[in-house]
Structure 1
Amino acid sequence: MKTIAIIGGSQKRTLQKLAQKEGYHVIFHDGKTSKKKAKEFLPILRKADCVVVMAGALSHPSMWTVREVAEKLGKPIAYHQGFGATGALKKGTKLVTS
């Protein structure tokens, strides 16, 4: 089963339910972090096959940190401009199937 990391927002349960219906696993993080941001995101991104950042739902420093960690790990990353769970999951499924 492919794993999609979704960073930002507040729809953890909705994302997990939608992903399960589609045959994917979601690891969710709301994007709120302590000062050691990279240490919080690193274990999540290691487990994921791809990363979707909900750009409007987290701070710019957190978004940049996620991008840096994803690039170091070689994980594909997509940015979702809205707050919707369905759109974010669609971006993730495109990444894992391409």
Structure 2
Amino acid sequence: MKTIAVIGGSQKQTLEKLARKQGCGIIFHSGKTGKKREKEFLPILRKADCVVVMAGALSHPSMWTVREVAEKLGKPIVYHQGFGATGALKKGVALID
């Protein structure tokens, strides 16, 4: 089963429900971090096949850290403008298909 990391927002349960319907897994992180951003995001991104960043729902420093870690790990990344779980998941599914 392919796994999508969704970073940002607050719709974890909705994303998990939608992912089950699509036959994929979700690893969710709200994007809220302390000073050790890379240490928080690294294990999540290692487990994921691709990354969706909810661009309007997390801080710029967190977004930049996610981008850097994804690039280091060679994970495809896409940015979703807005807060919609359905649109974010569609972008993630498109990356792994």
* TM-score, normalising length: structure 2: 1.00
Where do 1:1-98 residues align within 5 Å?
Answer: 1-97=1-97
1:57-77 C-alpha deviation (Å, 9 max, x unpaired): 000000000000000000000
Q: CA deviation at 1:37?
A: 0.1
Give percent identity, aligned residues only: 82
Q: CA deviation at 1:17?
A: 0.3
RMSD: 0.2
Amino acid at match of 1:92: G
CA distance in 2, matches of 1:91, 1:15: 12
CA distance in 2, matches of 1:90, 1:78: 11
Structure 1, unmatched stretches of 5+, are none
